[in-house]
Amino acid sequence: VSFATMEGNPSSFAVGHAGVDGTLPYFYQWYRAGVPIPGANNYSYDFRPRLDDSDLDYYLVVSNYFSAATSAVVKVTVSKDVEKPTAVTAGSLLKQVVRVRFSEPVNTNDAVVLANYSLQSATGAAIPIYSAAMDTNNPATVVYLQTGPMTEYGTNSLTVQNVRDIAETPNTMDPATVS
């Protein structure tokens, strides 16, 4: 079995306990290149592959007190991320919060720097930005900006710059304006 992905992209493997005889409890251990992965002790394994994960084998051993079974081996191929992130959407919530969604996971330290954002009203007046925070439900891809009051009429414009992705060699986005 093979699995191809790009470095840093959220990836996941999951299997059941098929093949293990006996009763609970079941014990799970994921392996990378034949070595147990610390903390990977569940039926699923979520990770963000790095370039050095490429061409390595992953598998799961499920056991109980009476038997053990090994899953099929998955060979992972990881491609280098050469794409720059983009600000895909920006929408106003509650007239003082802007939700910004990026095209891929971004560097959290960059994403919360206020100097990387500029917000203008439909008339071109600057709207202050007071804080930036990552969305806990969409970590690394969504940022909330707490702003000064925005008008209900007209389209506001948000300029975003200097935000890098999480690639091993980070790609910096081109400055972009979204409305």
pLDDT at 24 (0 to 100):
87
Question: Residue 138's pLDDT is what?
Answer: 78
Q: What is the pLDDT of residue 18?
A: 62
Dist. CA 88–CA 143, nearest whole Å: 12
Q: What pLDDT sits at residue 120?
A: 93
**Helices within the chain (DSSP H only):** 108-111
pLDDT on residue 179: 81
Residues 6+ apart with CB under 8 A from 137: none
Contact 172, 164 (CB under 8 A): yes
- Residue spans of beta strands (DSSP E) within the chain: 2-6, 11-14, 27-32, 35-36, 44-47, 56-63, 68-70, 74-79, 87-93, 97-102, 117-120, 126-127, 129-134, 142-147, 157-160, 176-178
Going residue by residue through the chain (179 aa), what tens digit of pLDDT does each one get? Answer: 899 999 988 899 988 666 676 788 999 999 999 999 999 999 899 998 999 999 999 999 999 988 899 999 999 999 999 999 999 988 887 789 999 999 999 999 999 999 999 999 888 899 999 999 999 887 789 999 999 998 777 788 999 999 999 999 999 999 999 98
The Cβ of residue 146 has, within 10 Å, a number of other Cβ atoms equal to 15
Rounded Cα–Cα distance for residues 153 and 40 (Å): 51
* Alpha-carbon span 54 to 60, nearest angstrom: 18
